[in-house]
Amino acid sequence: MSYHVDKKGYYGQFGGAFIPEMLYPNVEELRQKYLSIMAAPDFKLEFKQLLKDYVGRPTPLYFAKRFSEKYNTKIYFKREDLCHTGAHKVNNTIGQILVAKHLGKSRIIAETGAGQHGVATATVCALAGLKCIVYMGEVDIARQAPNVARMKMLGAEVRAAKSGSKTLKDATNEAIRDWINHPEDTHYIIGSAVGPHPYPDMVSRFQSVVSEEIKWQLKAMESKENPNYVVACVGGGSNAAGAYYHFLDNTGVGLIAVEAAGKGVDSGESAATSVLGKEGIIHGSKTLLMQTTDGQITEPYSISAGLDYPGVGPMHAHLYTSKRAEFIPVTDDEAMTAGLELSQLEGIIPAIETAHAFAIFETKVFKPDDVVVVCLSGRGDKDLNTYIDYFKL
Amino acid sequence: MNRIQAKLKEDKKLISIYFSAGFPALNDTVEIIKNLEKSGVDMIEIGLPFSDPLADGPTIQQSSTKALKNGMHTELLFEQLRDIRKEVSIPLILMGYFNPMLQYGVEAFCEKCQAVGIDGFIIPDLPAEVYDEAYKTIFERYGLINIFLITPQTSDARIRYMDSISNGFIYMVSSTSTTGAQSEFGKKQQDYFKRVADLNLKSPQIVGFGISNNETFREATSHAKGAIIGSAFIKFLANKGVSKIPNFIVKIKA
């Protein structure tokens, strides 16, 4: 059994491209061309070069001695927080901007929640000299002022999504509507492993550099290339897709997906999509999503703006239902505590999204000789205000 | 013969109206439908509101959101339509996004639609291939016609594919845009209407998106069988109310 995408764009029963006809030519063009574009030698060379010289890859695989001692197992951090712009998001935007250039597109659109993907997109648009428009929920614009300023400084136009709940889901709707209205010159850089096929697969492939590096780095440090477990937080699922990618079909490697439980899975204020979601369609993909019995998409909640997406990527929906990955919900409080602990044990302030992944060690017990790799997907600078408010710093 | 097919055989240009069920007020649905038929409308698209209408512009987004706030939901719509066929004989098409139908259960949904007298569906996010593979047999079992959307970007080959699996009309989206009113059609759109007309499809074409007045209606139907008006009608409903519907239709047909 493979956990990768099949020829029709599905992961098990999830995935596909449930798109309005207006998007068909663009999505179809991408579907037909993405693999050959990505496989072309000049593309690969340019992508690798940029990841190395511009993003700063490979990112370190760091053996966390104090953290390991505390939890009595061998814990490595994959330091995606050290990427340019502060998170793994840029791996994907570098890849997609090159795809956009190959497709001859001159205008880039993106959606963003917390602003990390928006910043990563604005960054590569500046790098490539392409026009950039980022859709962001009106509510998020107010919550994430520093990232809005960063995008503007990078030359992007930030447009407020004023429909629906005015957050990530609505920003994505607005980006899709923009694409419908600009079918010829525009490429849509989706920020996570979500959306219609081929996006989940394309984004996963660009992020797969994370697990590719883990393999050779671990080989050098532990004399084996496969860890016992890979742990990552999941909102839409792009950092998890990247960290799992080369281990997906190796069932000897345990995959742990950490979801935002908000104020508790049963509190009514949660973003634990796998547990609370039902199969349905969101943003062109058949996957698990939070919705009413009537099929209206509901608004999730998490203290981290990057995890409050009502759906989850189709790869992850498949990993959940097939039980290939273990999904663990972590509350706001548990994540914040873990973020503080990581800061004080290892001197690394993580993004609050990332902090969720570190909270599992309080409850999940590993063997002393297990090798556990945690994807440290982003740094916490953007979250300082939330940390300050929470801990009264 | 399905009511849609019978209507398409009539020797006239068809005027079709879209509205969001549950808007302006929750229980306006039946009144709106009756008024539209009395005003001489040929066909009605009843919008099943959705939280995330990707293909719609601001007007229909807002009417959808308002309808949901008013309390509209799938079962309630079926209830409102329970006796509609005692009073209304023109074709009724349900237009909505796929997720609410999936949650209801596609087969159960179709069964219910047949029972109340719905004649077909327009489902923007159900691609032709998926329909063909997974749902065509179910829709047809309940006598429901699926309407396909095409845009100026749709290739001739793809249009012919849709025509081959269509047993109703082809919904020609007038421009590359989300729904919403325009004041006139340019040469580009006229060329597109003509290009599609020249394909000599078996399915008649009805133009939608951007039709707001008598002028755009006439332009749209110069090469097509009919036209659909949505956003402009919803704006009218919001401003003038259900009782004034005949005034709107008279002006379009003038």
Domain boundaries, given as residue ranges, for chain B: 13-253
Q: How far is CA B41 from the centre of its chain?
A: 12
Query: Contact A296/B127, CB-based, under 8 Å?
Result: no
- Does pLDDT of A308 surpass 90? no
pLDDT at B38 (0 to 100): 97
Q: Which tokens hold the place of B147?
A: 């309407």
pLDDT digits (tens, 9 = 90+) for B228-239: 999 999 999 999
The correct CATH number of A11-50+89-202 out of 3.40.50.170, 3.40.50.1100, 3.40.50.10380, 3.40.30.10 is 3.40.50.1100
How far is the C-alpha of A286 from the C-alpha of A279, rounded, in Å?
Answer: 7
CA distance to A72, A194, A276, B39, B145, per residue, from A16 (Å): 42, 11, 22, 42, 23
Is the CB of residue B52 less than 8 Å away from at least one CB of chain A?
A: yes
Query: Contact B61/A294, CB-based, under 8 Å?
Result: no
**Contact yes or no for A232/A359 (Cβ under 8 A):** no
Q: Which tokens hold the place of A81?
A: 């927080």
Question: Which stretches within B49-186 are classed as H helix?
Answer: 58-70, 74-80, 98-104, 106-116, 128-130, 136-141, 156-165
Closest CA to A82 of A213, A201, A193: A213
Query: Contact A20/B51, CB-based, under 8 Å?
Result: no
Instruction: Lowest mean pLDDT of A196-205, A352-361, B177-186, name the range.
Output: B177-186
Other C-beta atoms closer than 10 Å to the C-beta of B97 total: 28
How far is the C-alpha of B175 from the C-alpha of A27, rounded, in Å?
Answer: 18
Query: Class of B13-253 per CATH?
Result: alpha beta
Arithmetic mean of pLDDT over chain A: 96
Amino acid at position A253, single letter: V
**Closest approach of chain A CAs to the CA of B100, in angstroms?**
4
Exposed / middle / buried, residue A284 (Cβ in 10 Å: 0-12, 13-18, 19+)? buried
B contacts of A107 (beta carbons < 8 Å): none
Query: Contact A20/B65, CB-based, under 8 Å?
Result: no
Taking residues A119-129, report their average pLDDT: 98
CB pairs under 8 A between A and B: 107
Closest CA to A345 of A322, A367, A374, A305: A374
Three-state SS across A135-166?
Answer: EEEHHHHHHCHHHHHHHHHCCCEEEEECCCCC
Instruction: Lowest mean pLDDT of A157-166, B65-74, B200-209, name the range.
Output: A157-166
Closest CA to A143 of A110, A175, A115: A115
- Does pLDDT of B183 surpass 70? no
Amino acid at position B51, single letter: S
pLDDT digits (tens, 9 = 90+) for B115-168: 999 999 999 999 999 999 999 999 999 999 999 999 999 999 999 999 999 999
pLDDT at B178 (0 to 100): 78
Q: What are phi and psi of A60, to 5 degrees?
A: -65, 150
How far is the C-alpha of B104 from the C-alpha of B99, rounded, in Å?
Answer: 9
Indicate the residue of B51, B104, B177 with minimum beta-carbon distance to A297.
B51
Q: Which tokens hold the place of A138?
A: 């009106």
How far is the C-alpha of A183 from the C-alpha of A25, rounded, in Å?
Answer: 8
B contacts of A181 (beta carbons < 8 Å): 176-178
Residue of B nearest to A287 (CA): B99
DSSP letter, residue A300: P
Query: Contact B61/A22, CB-based, under 8 Å?
Result: no
- Does pLDDT of A84 surpass 80? yes
Secondary structure (DSSP) of A32-55: HHHHHHHHSHHHHHHHHHHIIIII
Report the residue of B48, B51, B78 to disrupt the A interface, i.e. the one with the largest count of A CBs within 10 Å.
B51
**Contact yes or no for B189/B175 (Cβ under 8 A):** yes
Query: Contact B177/A180, CB-based, under 8 Å?
Result: yes
Q: How many Cα atoms within 13 Å fall on the side-chain side of residue A393?
A: 11
Taking residues A370-378, report their average pLDDT: 98
CA distance to A100, A209, A335, B2, B82, per residue, from A230 (Å): 31, 15, 18, 57, 54
Strand ranges inside B164-233, DSSP E: 170-173, 205-208, 226-229
Contacts (Cβ under 8 Å, ≥6 apart) of A220:
none
pLDDT at B114 (0 to 100): 98
Closest CA to B47 of B66, B37, B35, B38: B66
Taking residues A21-49, report their average pLDDT: 97
pLDDT digits (tens, 9 = 90+) for A211-261: 999 999 999 999 999 999 999 999 999 999 999 999 999 999 999 999 999
* Pairwise pLDDT comparison (B179 vs A112), residue with the higher score: A112
A contacts of B47 (beta carbons < 8 Å): none
Residue of B nearest to A170 (CA): B52
Report the residue of A14, A21, A169 to disrupt the B interface, i.e. the one with the largest count of B CBs within 10 Å.
A21
> Which residue's entry shows tokens 């849509």?
A188
Query: Contact B130/A16, CB-based, under 8 Å?
Result: yes
Query: Contact A280/B101, CB-based, under 8 Å?
Result: no
Residue of B nearest to A289 (CA): B99
Grade residue B181 by pLDDT with cuts at 50, 70 and 90: low
Indicate the residue of A164, A279, A294 with minimum beta-carbon distance to B52.
A164
pLDDT digits (tens, 9 = 90+) for B76-119: 999 999 999 999 999 999 999 999 999 999 999 999 999 999 99
Residues of chain A within CATH 3.40.50.1100 domain(s) are 11-50+89-202, 56-87+208-391
Q: How far is CA B88 from the centre of its chain?
A: 17
DSSP letter, residue B137: H
- Does pLDDT of B33 surpass 80? yes
Q: What are phi and psi of B172, to 5 degrees?
A: -90, 110
Report the residue of B50, B52, B74, B131 to disrupt the A interface, i.e. the one with the largest count of A CBs within 10 Å.
B52
Put simply, whether the predicted model's pTM sits higher than 0.90 gets the answer yes
Query: Contact B68/A296, CB-based, under 8 Å?
Result: yes
Is the CB of residue A185 less than 8 Å away from at least one CB of chain B?
A: no
pLDDT digits (tens, 9 = 90+) for A128-165: 999 999 999 998 898 888 999 999 999 999 999 998 77
Taking residues A354-382, report their average pLDDT: 97
What residues form DSSP beta bridges with A77? A62, A374
Question: What element of type H or E holds A232?
Answer: strand A229-234
Taking residues B15-20, report their average pLDDT: 98
Arithmetic mean of pLDDT over chain B: 95
Q: Which tokens hold the place of B134?
A: 């997974």
Phi/psi region, residue A198 (left: phi>0; alpha: psi -120 to 50; beta: rest), is alpha
pLDDT at A306 (0 to 100): 86
pLDDT at B12 (0 to 100): 96
The CATH T-level fold of domain A56-87+208-391 is: Rossmann fold (3.40.50)
Closest CA to A381 of A347, A352, A359: A352
**Contact yes or no for B159/B205 (Cβ under 8 A):** no
pLDDT at B177 (0 to 100): 76
Catalytic residues of B: 45, 56
Catalytic residues of A: 89, 111, 377
CA distance to A25, A27, B50, B91, per residue, from A21 (Å): 8, 10, 18, 24
**Closest approach of chain A CAs to the CA of B246, in angstroms?**
31
Strand ranges inside A2-130, DSSP E: 10-11, 14-15, 61-63, 74-79, 107-112
A contacts of B50 (beta carbons < 8 Å): 295-296
Is the CB of residue B55 less than 8 Å away from at least one CB of chain A?
A: yes
Three-state SS across A329-365?
Answer: EEEHHHHHHHHHHHHHHHCCCECHHHHHHHHHHHCCC
Q: What are phi and psi of A25, to 5 degrees?
A: -60, -40
User: Considering just the CA atoms, what is the radius of gyration of chain A in Å?
Assistant: 19
How far is the C-alpha of B17 from the C-alpha of B230, rounded, in Å?
Answer: 6
